[in-house]
Protein backbone atom coordinates (compact mmCIF):
# COMPACT_ATOMS: atom_id res chain seq x y z
CA UNK A 1 0.00 0.00 0.00
CA UNK A 2 1.30 3.46 -0.90
CA UNK A 3 0.79 6.36 1.52
CA UNK A 4 1.58 10.01 1.02
CA UNK A 5 2.62 11.95 4.08
CA UNK A 6 4.91 14.54 5.56
CA UNK A 7 8.52 13.60 6.38
CA UNK A 8 8.05 13.67 10.16
CA UNK A 9 5.18 11.19 9.89
CA UNK A 10 7.23 8.97 7.58
CA UNK A 11 10.06 8.82 10.13
CA UNK A 12 7.62 7.90 12.89
CA UNK A 13 5.93 5.30 10.71
CA UNK A 14 9.27 3.77 9.67
CA UNK A 15 10.56 3.59 13.21
CA UNK A 16 7.33 2.09 14.54
CA UNK A 17 7.10 -0.49 11.74
CA UNK A 18 3.79 0.83 10.34
CA UNK A 19 5.55 1.23 6.97
CA UNK A 20 8.49 -0.68 5.52
CA UNK A 21 9.90 1.94 3.17
CA UNK A 22 9.91 5.69 2.85
CA UNK A 23 10.95 8.08 0.10
CA UNK A 24 12.41 11.04 1.95
CA UNK A 25 14.72 13.99 1.61
CA UNK A 26 17.97 14.21 3.57
CA UNK A 27 19.41 14.58 6.10
CA UNK A 28 18.81 11.17 7.64
CA UNK A 29 20.61 10.82 10.93
CA UNK A 30 18.94 7.86 12.55
CA UNK A 31 21.04 4.87 13.53
CA UNK A 32 18.03 2.56 13.10
CA UNK A 33 17.61 3.42 9.41
CA UNK A 34 19.45 2.52 6.24
CA UNK A 35 19.12 4.60 3.12
CA UNK A 36 19.94 4.59 -0.57
CA UNK A 37 19.91 7.54 -2.93
CA UNK A 38 17.16 7.07 -5.52
CA UNK A 39 17.57 10.34 -7.38
CA UNK A 40 19.74 13.43 -7.48
CA UNK A 41 18.66 16.38 -9.57
CA UNK A 42 19.24 20.06 -10.12
CA UNK A 43 16.87 22.86 -9.36
CA UNK A 44 15.17 24.67 -12.22
CA UNK A 45 13.54 28.07 -12.23
CA UNK A 46 9.79 28.24 -12.56
CA UNK A 47 8.29 31.61 -13.30
CA UNK A 48 5.38 33.49 -14.72
CA UNK A 49 6.14 35.58 -17.81
CA UNK A 50 5.35 38.74 -15.82
CA UNK A 51 8.21 38.01 -13.37
CA UNK A 52 11.14 36.50 -15.31
CA UNK A 53 12.01 35.83 -18.94
CA UNK A 54 11.87 32.03 -18.98
CA UNK A 55 13.36 31.90 -22.48
CA UNK A 56 16.85 32.37 -21.11
CA UNK A 57 18.76 30.53 -18.39
CA UNK A 58 18.72 32.19 -14.98
CA UNK A 59 21.33 32.57 -12.26
CA UNK A 60 20.74 32.71 -8.52
CA UNK A 61 21.81 36.36 -8.61
CA UNK A 62 18.74 37.11 -10.77
CA UNK A 63 16.57 36.45 -7.72
CA UNK A 64 17.73 39.53 -5.79
CA UNK A 65 14.70 41.67 -5.06
CA UNK A 66 12.31 39.38 -6.93
CA UNK A 67 9.14 37.97 -5.39
CA UNK A 68 9.99 34.36 -4.52
CA UNK A 69 7.75 31.59 -3.32
CA UNK A 70 9.83 29.67 -0.79
CA UNK A 71 9.54 26.31 0.89
CA UNK A 72 8.13 26.46 4.42
CA UNK A 73 10.86 26.19 7.09
CA UNK A 74 8.75 23.89 9.27
CA UNK A 75 7.30 21.46 6.71
CA UNK A 76 9.83 21.58 3.89
CA UNK A 77 12.99 22.20 5.89
CA UNK A 78 15.36 20.39 3.52
CA UNK A 79 14.44 22.59 0.55
CA UNK A 80 14.16 25.73 2.66
CA UNK A 81 17.55 25.34 4.31
CA UNK A 82 19.29 24.36 1.07
CA UNK A 83 18.01 27.35 -0.89
CA UNK A 84 18.31 29.99 1.83
CA UNK A 85 21.91 28.89 2.43
CA UNK A 86 22.66 29.21 -1.30
CA UNK A 87 21.06 32.64 -1.52
CA UNK A 88 22.98 33.78 1.55
CA UNK A 89 26.30 32.37 0.31
CA UNK A 90 25.92 34.23 -2.97
CA UNK A 91 24.71 37.47 -1.39
CA UNK A 92 21.26 37.20 -2.96
CA UNK A 93 18.28 38.78 -1.19
CA UNK A 94 14.97 37.65 -2.67
CA UNK A 95 11.66 39.02 -1.46
CA UNK A 96 9.89 35.99 0.02
CA UNK A 97 6.17 36.46 -0.64
CA UNK A 98 4.85 33.08 0.47
CA UNK A 99 6.06 29.95 2.30
CA UNK A 100 4.51 26.62 1.28
CA UNK A 101 5.37 22.98 1.77
CA UNK A 102 4.39 21.28 -1.49
CA UNK A 103 5.82 21.69 -4.99
CA UNK A 104 2.30 21.60 -6.47
CA UNK A 105 1.34 24.58 -4.32
CA UNK A 106 4.43 26.48 -5.42
CA UNK A 107 3.62 25.85 -9.08
CA UNK A 108 0.01 26.97 -8.61
CA UNK A 109 1.14 30.23 -6.99
CA UNK A 110 3.73 30.83 -9.71
CA UNK A 111 1.04 30.16 -12.32
CA UNK A 112 -1.11 33.04 -11.08
CA UNK A 113 1.87 35.42 -11.11
CA UNK A 114 2.54 35.64 -7.37
CA UNK A 115 6.28 35.06 -7.79
CA UNK A 116 8.97 32.77 -9.09
CA UNK A 117 10.57 29.75 -7.44
CA UNK A 118 13.16 27.02 -7.64
CA UNK A 119 11.86 23.48 -7.95
CA UNK A 120 13.49 20.10 -8.62
CA UNK A 121 13.99 19.41 -12.31
CA UNK A 122 11.46 16.55 -12.25
CA UNK A 123 8.74 19.17 -11.65
CA UNK A 124 9.04 20.10 -15.34
CA UNK A 125 6.70 17.19 -16.01
CA UNK A 126 3.96 18.94 -14.02
CA UNK A 127 1.97 21.24 -16.27
CA UNK A 128 0.41 24.29 -14.65
CA UNK A 129 -1.07 27.13 -16.70
CA UNK A 130 1.15 30.19 -16.67
CA UNK A 131 4.26 28.36 -15.43
CA UNK A 132 7.39 28.39 -17.54
CA UNK A 133 10.62 26.58 -16.70
CA UNK A 134 14.20 27.59 -17.37
CA UNK A 135 17.58 26.21 -16.45
CA UNK A 136 19.52 27.48 -13.48
CA UNK A 137 23.06 28.34 -14.52
CA UNK A 138 26.20 28.74 -12.46
CA UNK A 139 28.95 26.71 -10.91
CA UNK A 140 27.30 26.39 -7.51
CA UNK A 141 23.79 25.38 -8.53
CA UNK A 142 22.36 23.29 -5.69
CA UNK A 143 21.08 19.76 -6.19
CA UNK A 144 18.42 17.84 -4.29
CA UNK A 145 18.29 14.18 -3.37
CA UNK A 146 15.51 11.69 -2.88
CA UNK A 147 16.36 8.79 -0.59
CA UNK A 148 14.80 5.38 -0.01
CA UNK A 149 14.78 4.63 3.74
CA UNK A 150 14.05 1.47 5.67
CA UNK A 151 14.74 0.03 9.10
CA UNK A 152 18.01 -1.90 9.37
CA UNK A 153 16.22 -4.69 11.21
CA UNK A 154 13.54 -5.11 8.53
CA UNK A 155 13.87 -8.67 7.23
CA UNK A 156 11.19 -8.42 4.53
CA UNK A 157 12.31 -10.03 1.25
CA UNK A 158 10.40 -7.32 -0.64
CA UNK A 159 12.38 -4.56 1.11
CA UNK A 160 15.66 -6.39 0.43
CA UNK A 161 14.77 -6.84 -3.24
CA UNK A 162 13.73 -3.21 -3.75
CA UNK A 163 16.88 -1.99 -1.97
CA UNK A 164 18.98 -4.22 -4.25
CA UNK A 165 17.24 -2.81 -7.34
CA UNK A 166 17.80 0.78 -6.20
CA UNK A 167 21.45 0.02 -5.40
CA UNK A 168 22.00 -1.24 -8.96
Say if residue 139 is in the same domain as residue 151: no
Say if residue 58 is in the same domain as residue 17: no
> Who's near 78: CB < 8 A, 6+ residues apart?
7, 25, 26, 27, 144
Summarize pLDDT for 12-58 with one digit per residue, the tens.
888 888 888 888 888 777 788 888 899 999 999 999 877 766 666 68
Q: Could you give the 3-state DSSP secondary structure of residue 147?
A: strand
The DSSP output letter for 70 is E
**Are 167 and 55 within 8 A, CB to CB?**
no
Instruction: State the residue range of the domain holding 22.
Output: 7-39+145-167
CATH of the domain at 61: 3.40.190.10
> Who's near 28: CB < 8 A, 6+ residues apart?
35, 147, 149
Rounded Cα gap, residues 37 and 8, in angstroms? 19
Q: What is the pTM of this model?
A: 0.84
Amino acid sequence: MLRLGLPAAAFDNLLSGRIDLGLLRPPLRRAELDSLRVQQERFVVCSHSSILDADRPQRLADFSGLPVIMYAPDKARYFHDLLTAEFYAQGVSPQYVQYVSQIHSILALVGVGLGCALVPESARSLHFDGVRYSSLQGEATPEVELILCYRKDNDSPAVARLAALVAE
